[in-house]
């Protein structure tokens, strides 16, 4: 299936804004370029690069160990493989306000549609774990101002994530969100809300600001249906590590069978066939162009 926005003209930021302003969108995390292309073929309207998934792909925990350049190169690969706008996790911005300027420019030059920045101190933690510490709200606001100022495309999307709910409570998360909007954030991402009622209350207090909900698995937030979150007022719903978790479980199962049984035949029905993989890779198009170049 072709993406509904594949033919939409404009910058990546313009395409992302067009998607979530037209209607709420589900945004799957894609842990490599080929999964990004798969999401496009299936009909999603945007994709997401998760810091947790990128860290895990490098066999690292999500504690701020992956560098800016590693993030940007991963983003560049995904953006090159699909026309879908790519929203990227940018952790804490990889430093202070001046570092955030460079962070924005590198992600923008890599073809990303936007980034989200979070208000944690380093070393940061997964948003659904304990032990997080927050920077002062004004420090985060300065980063948002730097991000908004640094972008060359005014439509590059700046998402401000607040982790305040899990540290000091919902009221402070709402206060910080308002401050970040005033500093120039385009979208607010309240991390680790703990009930449907909290998602609803946050949406009421921030209306009409565009909001992003994180539906990661096994965390503090309930896994609400996309339609319910859309009805509450959330414009983007992230599934940041879903594809990676499923892929890892499948890989674990087939590796165990290879070791125990000495074959992979029980897994063939769950694999992409050679033909399906080649179609996803546009193998025929490469061969056709190669022949044409040689006349």
Active site residues: 48, 62, 89, 91, 116, 118, 126, 161, 191, 214
The DSSP symbol for 123 reads S
Residue-wise DSSP of 195-236: SHHHHHHHHHHHTTS-EEEE--TTSSS----HHHHHHHTEEE
Farthest-apart Cα atoms in the chain, separation? 68
Rounded Cα distance between 208 and 201, Å, is 13
Q: Where are the alpha helices (DSSP H) in the chain?
A: 12-22, 33-42, 51-57, 68-81, 97-109, 137-150, 165-168, 170-183, 196-206, 226-232, 242-261, 274-281, 283-293
Alpha carbon 84 to its chain centroid, in Å, reads 12
Which run of H or of E encompasses 89?
Answer: strand 86-89
What distances in angstroms separate CA 88 from CA 3, 76, 250, 276, one per listed residue? Answer: 19, 11, 25, 28
């Amino acid at each position: 299936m072709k993406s509904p926005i594949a033919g939409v003209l404009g910058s990546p930021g313009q395409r992302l804004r067009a998607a979530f302003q037209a209607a709420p969108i589900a945004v799957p995390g894609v842990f490599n370029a080929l999964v990004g292309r798969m999401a496009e073929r299936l009909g999603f309207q945007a994709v997401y690069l998760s810091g947790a998934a990128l860290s895990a792909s490098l066999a690292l925990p999500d504690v701020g160990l992956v560098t800016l350049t590693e993030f940007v190169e991963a983003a560049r690969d995904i953006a090159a493989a699909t026309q879908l706008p790519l929203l990227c996790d940018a952790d804490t911005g990889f430093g202070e306000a001046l570092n955030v300027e460079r962070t924005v420019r590198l992600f923008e030059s890599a073809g990303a549609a936007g980034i989200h920045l979070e208000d944690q101190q380093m070393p940061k933690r997964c948003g659904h774990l304990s032990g997080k510490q927050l920077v002062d709200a004004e420090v985060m606001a300065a980063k948002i101002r730097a991000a908004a100022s640094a972008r060359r495309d005014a439509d590059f999307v700046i998402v401000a994530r607040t982790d305040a709910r899990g540290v000091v409570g919902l009221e402070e998360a709402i206060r910080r969100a308002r401050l970040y909007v005033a500093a120039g954030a385009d979208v607010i991402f309240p991390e680790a809300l703990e009930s449907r009622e909290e998602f609803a209350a946050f949406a009421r207090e921030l209306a009409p600001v565009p909001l992003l909900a994180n539906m990661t698995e096994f965390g503090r937030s309930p896994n609400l249906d996309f339609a319910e979150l859309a009805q509450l007022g959330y414009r983007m719903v992230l599934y940041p590590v879903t594809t990676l978790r499923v892929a890892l479980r499948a890989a674990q199962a087939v590796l165990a069978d290879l070791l125990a049984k000495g074959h992979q035949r029980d897994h063939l029905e769950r694999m992409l066939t050679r033909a399906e993989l080649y179609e996803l890779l546009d193998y025929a198009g490469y061969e056709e162009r190669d022949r044409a170049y040689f006349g």
